[in-house]
């Protein structure tokens, strides 16, 4: 797996609209209570109508489901409860026909303990795949680095047959692969090439910093762990010129930027965790300062690269980059009960619940996210204001079934009444697609209009970003690109606010309404008010 990134693309990810979903919780067509590829394929036109241009599928590989599919037992197949590889390729073909690219999760920092590699490896140090994993004869001492504190007590587990300890950063059922091993790196490339051949256009890479940590290997070997991502990027780009790598890198900017590579030759996209966490602190304080500070500190990135912005990802709403005091502020505002929190670092709630279903405030937050420099990313159900189900344990609380209608099981499943679904619906599942489609003022119809306007503002994906005003509750920022500019203004408070935008232009054309503005005059913002303007 070697080579240099030479192929080019139109950098489609710079101005995409990404939609993340879990196939098993999206639409069930065979009545078994579990979503499937056939159901998702039936809803591709819904996603196209919403304005989605990139569909991100959470893991759909065979799995014992210890970690919601992230514990994979076969990288070259799909979970049979979701359908067949034929169903998967039909989904990809249909999405492409509607102008939607498909990316999938690439989870190669570990496998399931039931993967054939580990079942071989645990038989002894002479087993064929033993060196695919990280082993120790004596349990290492030192600080534990647990992803799930309280659920696991150590990063090391005992393999009886091998009579050795193996390393796992997640659950004990997820032994870590040794990415310092060239054979493992070659296998990762083969996995990437396999799914590209089936039509996917790239990957969301899980927990990238963990993937690159040098946990074993001879001293001095692979001194540059980033070579793994560089080689993978070059390989995939040779196979498909528009291939993309979207990385989960929850680190401060000064460390995260390393994962783009010095020449944009590693990750193409990266989730903007610092801005997301600062946004929630600003929302809790009703003060733009924390978010403005984070945005001003965003480093310059290679032209080929992009930040991915989000309101709510598919795990907990992580707040680990905030100080203990700041995190407590966000907890107090949006999840004061212990049952709403997880691992002491995050929240288990979706946005509408956190904001007491205040429609004005909900729309403010999505307007803000879509206007930030980068590519917007939605988690399924956000467009209708779905809530979480705290009765579902841990991080799965936000992954309840999609709510399509007022029919039984919220239209998610054709299973008989009383049948057990893959996950239970929230107690209040009144928000649904069918009902909101009939209401011109619904969140769904508003979201469609917002996405359409975002796609007509390439400045937000390609432009140079500037904070114009950040005082009290008001944040105003500007993106300039190719001789044009867009300005966005947001009031984070529940009271009116005023701001003067000193801009050298004739007028500001309102993109979300009909209230054009003279930049020389004071602008009055309603409580939780917002505007997008094109500079004329």
* Catalytic residue status for 186: no
Measured distance CA(249)–CA(270) in Å, rounded? 7
Number of domains within the chain: 3
The residue segments making up the domain with residue 61 are: 13-109+181-281+305-321+338-455
Percentage of the chain exceeding pLDDT 90: 91
**Residues 131 and 212 both lie in one domain:** no
Q: Is residue 292 part of a domain?
A: no
Q: Is residue 263 part of a domain?
A: yes
**Residues 342 and 392 both lie in one domain:** yes
Q: What pLDDT is recorded for position 225?
A: 80
Cα distances from 60 to residues 116, 198, 280, in angstroms, run 18, 14, 31
What does the pLDDT look like over 239-275, one tens digit per residue? Answer: 999 999 999 999 999 999 999 998 899 999 999 999 9
- Is residue 164 pLDDT above 70, yes or no? yes
Measured distance CA(39)–CA(28) in Å, rounded? 6
Positive or negative CA dihedral for 420, 426, 428, 434?
negative
Q: What is the mean pLDDT of residues 170-190?
A: 95
Q: Which residues touch 470 (CB under 8 Å, ≥6 apart)?
A: 288, 289, 291, 292, 476
Of 28, 36, 187, 248, catalytic: 248
**Residues 260 and 404 both lie in one domain:** yes
What does the pLDDT look like over 83-137, one tens digit per residue? Answer: 999 999 999 999 999 999 999 999 999 999 999 999 999 999 999 999 999 999 9
**Residues 446 and 365 both lie in one domain:** yes
Domain boundary among 435, 455, 475: 455
Q: What pLDDT is recorded for position 138?
A: 96
Burial of 74 (0-12, 13-18, 19+ CB in 10 A): middle
Q: Is residue 289 part of a domain?
A: no
Per-residue pLDDT band for 2 (boundaries 50, 70, 90) equals very low
Q: What is the CATH number of the domain that holds 187?
A: 3.20.20.80
**Residues 31 and 103 both lie in one domain:** yes
Per-residue pLDDT band for 4 (boundaries 50, 70, 90) equals very low
Identify which of 205-214, 415-424, 478-487 has the greatest average pLDDT: 478-487
Q: What pLDDT is recorded for position 488?
A: 98
Cα distances from 74 to residues 62, 107, 188, 212, 213, in angstroms, run 6, 11, 12, 22, 23
**Residues 253 and 150 both lie in one domain:** no
Q: Is residue 136 part of a domain?
A: yes
Measured distance CA(73)–CA(114) in Å, rounded? 6
Structure token pair of residue 77 = 């197949």
**What are the residues facing 246 on neighbouring strands?**
204, 269
Burial of 426 (0-12, 13-18, 19+ CB in 10 A): buried
**Residues 233 and 371 both lie in one domain:** yes
**Residues 130 and 264 both lie in one domain:** no
Q: What pLDDT is recorded for position 6?
A: 38
How would DSSP label each residue in 15-71?
G--EEEE-GGGT--SSSSSS--HHHHHHTHHHHHHHT--EEEEPP-S----SSTT-S
Per-residue pLDDT band for 494 (boundaries 50, 70, 90) equals very high
Tell me which residue of 235, 300, 309 sits closest to 262, measured CA to CA. 300
pTM for this structure? 0.96
* Catalytic residue status for 160: no
**Residues 368 and 395 both lie in one domain:** yes
Q: What is the mean pLDDT of residues 516-536?
A: 95
Question: Half-sphere exposure of 138 toward its Cβ, with a 13 Å CA cutoff?
Answer: 3
Q: What is the CATH number of the domain that holds 518?
A: 2.60.40.1180
- Is residue 160 pLDDT above 70, yes or no? yes
How many other CB atoms are found less than 10 A from the CB of residue 298?
A: 18
**Residues 94 and 235 both lie in one domain:** yes
Q: Is residue 249 part of a domain?
A: yes
How would DSSP label each residue in 399-433?
-PPP---SSGGGGS--SPTTPPPSSPPPS-----H
Residue with tokens 């403005």: 292
Domain boundary among 429, 455, 481: 455
How would DSSP label each residue in 338-394?
GGGEETTTEE---HHHHTTT-HHHHHHHHHHHHHSSSEEEEETTGGGT----TTS-G
Q: What pLDDT is recorded for position 296?
A: 98
Measured distance CA(215)–CA(168) in Å, rounded? 11
- Is residue 219 pLDDT above 60, yes or no? no
Q: What pLDDT is recorded for position 150?
A: 87
Measured distance CA(338)–CA(247) in Å, rounded? 30
Measured distance CA(27)–CA(49) in Å, rounded? 17
Q: Is residue 6 part of a domain?
A: no
For residues 475 and 490, is the Cβ–Cβ distance under 8 A? yes
Measured distance CA(286)–CA(472) in Å, rounded? 8
**Residues 205 and 277 both lie in one domain:** yes
- Is residue 7 pLDDT above 80, yes or no? no
Question: Half-sphere exposure of 329 toward its Cβ, with a 13 Å CA cutoff?
Answer: 17
Burial of 473 (0-12, 13-18, 19+ CB in 10 A): buried
How would DSSP label each residue in 432-481?
-HHHHHT-TTSHHHHHHHHHHHHHT-THHHHSEEEEEEEETTEEEEEEEE
Q: What pLDDT is recorded for position 8?
A: 47
Per-residue pLDDT band for 214 (boundaries 50, 70, 90) equals low
Percentage of the chain exceeding pLDDT 70: 96
Q: Is residue 286 part of a domain?
A: no
Q: Pick the residue with more confidence: 222 or 326? A: 326
How would DSSP label each residue in 207-275?
SHHHHH---SSSTTTT--TTHHHHHHHHHHHHH-TT-EEEE---S-HHHHGGGG-TTS-S-SEEE-HHH
Q: What pLDDT is recorded for position 142?
A: 83
Mean model confidence pLDDT for the chain: 94
Per-residue pLDDT band for 502 (boundaries 50, 70, 90) equals confident
Domain boundary among 390, 425, 455: 455
Of 173, 206, 266, 316, catalytic: 206
Structure token pair of residue 15 = 């101005």
Q: What pLDDT is recorded for position 153?
A: 92
- Is residue 425 pLDDT above 70, yes or no? yes
Give, in degrees to the nearest 5, the angle at Cα 228 between 224 and 231: 115
The H or E element that residue 307 is part of is strand 306-310
**Residues 61 and 99 both lie in one domain:** yes
Q: What is the CATH number of the domain that holds 121?
A: 3.90.400.10
Measured distance CA(60)–CA(162) in Å, rounded? 30
Tell me which residue of 129, 133, 373, 148 sits closest to 269, measured CA to CA. 373
Tell me which residue of 298, 240, 236, 239 sits closest to 265, measured CA to CA. 236
Per-residue pLDDT band for 223 (boundaries 50, 70, 90) equals low
Q: Is residue 25 part of a domain?
A: yes
């Amino acid at each position: 797996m070697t080579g240099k990134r030479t192929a080019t693309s139109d950098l489609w990810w710079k101005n995409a609209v990404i939609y993340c979903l879990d196939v098993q919780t999206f639409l069930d067509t065979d009545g078994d209570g579990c979503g499937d590829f056939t159901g998702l394929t039936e809803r591709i036109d819904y996603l196209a109508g919403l304005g989605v241009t990139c569909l991100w599928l959470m893991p759909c590989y065979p799995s014992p489901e210890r970690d919601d599919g992230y514990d994979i037992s076969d990288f070259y197949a799909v979970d049979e409860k979701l359908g067949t590889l034929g169903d998967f390729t039909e989904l990809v073909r249909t999405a492409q026909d509607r102008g939607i690219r498909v990316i999938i999760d690439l989870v190669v920092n570990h496998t399931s303990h039931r993967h054939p590699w580990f079942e071989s490896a645990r038989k002894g140090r002479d087993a064929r795949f033993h060196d695919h994993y990280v082993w120790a004869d004596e349990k290492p001492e030192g600080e534990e680095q647990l992803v799930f504190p309280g659920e696991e007590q150590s990063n090391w587990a005992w393999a009886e047959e091998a009579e050795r300890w193996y390393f796992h950063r997640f659950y004990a059922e997820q032994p870590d692969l040794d990415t310092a091993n060239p054979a493992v790196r070659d296998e990762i490339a083969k996995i990437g090439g396999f799914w590209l051949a089936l039509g996917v256009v790239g990957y969301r890479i899980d927990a990238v910093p963990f993937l690159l940590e040098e946990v074993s290997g001879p001293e001095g070997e692979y001194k540059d762990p980033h070579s793994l991502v560089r080689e993978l990027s070059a390989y995939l780009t040779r196979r498909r010129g528009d291939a993309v790598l979207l990385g989960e890198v929850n680190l401060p900017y000064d460390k995260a930027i390393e994962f783009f590579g010095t020449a944009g030759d590693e990750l193409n996209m990266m989730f903007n965790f610092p801005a997301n966490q600062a946004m929630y602190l600003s929302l809790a304080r009703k003060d733009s300062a924390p978010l403005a500070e984070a945005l001003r500190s965003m480093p310059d990135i290679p032209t080929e690269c992009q930040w991915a912005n989000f309101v709510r990802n598919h795990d907990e709403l992580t707040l680990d980059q905030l100080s203990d005091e700041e995190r407590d502020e966000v907890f107090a505002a949006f999840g004061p009960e212990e049952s709403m929190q997880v691992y002491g670092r995050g929240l288990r709630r979706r946005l509408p619940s956190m904001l007491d279903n205040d429609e004005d405030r909900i729309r403010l937050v999505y307007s803000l996210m879509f206007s930030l420099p980068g590519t917007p990313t939605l988690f399924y159900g956000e467009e209708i204001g779905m809530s979480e189900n705290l009765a579902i344990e841990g991080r799965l609380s936000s992954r309840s079934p999609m709510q399509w209608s007022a029919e039984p099981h919220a239209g998610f499943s054709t299973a008989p009444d009383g049948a057990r679904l893959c996950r239970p619906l929230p107690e209040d599942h009144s928000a649904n697609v069918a009902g909101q489609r009939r209401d011109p003022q619904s969140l769904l119809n508003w979201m469609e209009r917002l996405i359409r306007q975002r796609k007509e503002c390439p400045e937000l994906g390609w432009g140079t970003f500037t904070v114009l005003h950040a005082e009290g509750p008001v944040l105003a920022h500007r993106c300039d690109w190719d001789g044009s500019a867009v300005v966005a203004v947001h009031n984070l408070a529940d009271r009116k606010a005023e701001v003067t935008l000193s801009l050298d232009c004739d007028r500001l054309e309102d993109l979300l309404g009909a209230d054009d503005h003279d930049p020389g005059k004071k602008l009055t913002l309603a409580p939780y008010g917002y505007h997008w303007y094109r500079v004329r």
